[in-house]
A and B are shown apart, each in its own frame.
Chain A
Amino acid sequence: MIVDSVTKKFSGKKALDSVSFTAGPGEVVGLLGPNGSGKSTLMRIMLGFLKPDSGHVMVAGADSTEDSMAVRRISGYVPETVELYESLTLRELFSLVARVRGLGSKYALDRLNALVDAFELVKYVDTLIGALSKGNKQKVALVAAILHNPKVLFLDEPLTGLDAFSARVLKGIIRSKASEGGTVIFSTHVMEIAEKLCNKIVLLDGGRIVIYGTVKQVASVAGGLEELMLHISGRASEIEEILRALS
């Protein structure tokens, strides 16, 4: 994947400012940054949901600004806030997704059975999605995103709401996807996850890349990702005062 000088404005305000980075096959790239730094906007541009004001994005040879359909066919996406058709059952939703993706029924069914079992969703297949907890809805969105074994995975805060077992399954899926030669782009606020899973880190702040490099390179700059994030926020020194006031 090649992101080249992507800029995006909303109502005259820059959400992204000349963002550039690459992600090769087998790499897991973490998008980090404070709230409102542009991570979700960047992800939507990479998928072709939004068009950048300038720059372009190539995903597995397809230009997402010119041929977003090609990008969406080979990629899977889970947004930060998962909204699913609440009046459908899991069975109905998965049927629809498999049909839209043009998957063969046998292949889709075998893969679906494995994923539903892995994420402990078997007993919910005939339940309306609206009745599921937030964590289970997240799992449903994950299954739908990886059903077709995508080459590229875009995950926006994927671990939110997941229990320990499902989080471990997801991490295993991310690692195996990378080992198969796929690419994973995911955003997270949990520094420890980023340090353990990612090969590269892209740190955004105010729509600009602050630091971009391997995990070791980035962590060595300020003694760890958490320290770096606090430094970016500019409020590291206030923490002790706040804690003193609360106690």
Chain B
Amino acid sequence: MIKSLSKGIRQDGRKLEDFREVSVEYGASKSAEGSARVKIGDTEVIAGVKMEMGEPFPDTPDKGALMVGAEFLPMASPEFELGPPGIDAIEIARVADRGIRESGAIDLSKLCIKEGEKCWMVVIDVCTINDAGNLQDTTALAALAAIKDTKLPKLEDDGKVNYKEKTDQGLPINCLPIAVTVVKIGDSFMVDPIIKESEFLDARLTVTTLDDGTICAMQKGGVSPLTVDDIDKMVGIAAEKASMLRKSLG
């Protein structure tokens, strides 16, 4: 595999910097306030947003709250088991969370209803339907798409949320942070790894970027260290591929 990769050939015939086909379908779950089904190749996830009324965190009394969870449903792979999220699901959710949070993609200050007492909580859950590799990028993209699709439910005068009535008000979105994972195997860099490729990776770097190339979150994984040159190269690839994924959001 390392030999053929050094010649730029991948198992499924793709070039190193090719993604599989990407599709985004909005409104995948009518029960959610916002939702999307994202497919990258055979990898498929559904993300849904629930808008809840809650209390602001003590350190951000004037802001709404944001939570991202990733559910590796045992339906999606023979490797996934029932039970609380394992470390892989936690990492993927936290990396997706950081991209959205640190980029300021949602203007959380607009989601505060009453300082220190009441605010909207944006709860994003991303459920895997089929795992065929690169759940990180698929999950992050789906979380973002679900936010884009969200319409706030009606807030009644008594302060309760009426889930039966959606308003036409969306979430205050500032920018679209896109996560791209670049994988290093031997001396080759590639994107959108299938499961086989992930098993052989020496290092990976997930880079979340905005449309002007600004980095807003990163996560290194894998056992091998990376040189500064490696990192610079990987950031460049991630930013370039991000623009393609951003377009898929329509």
A and B, one complex? no
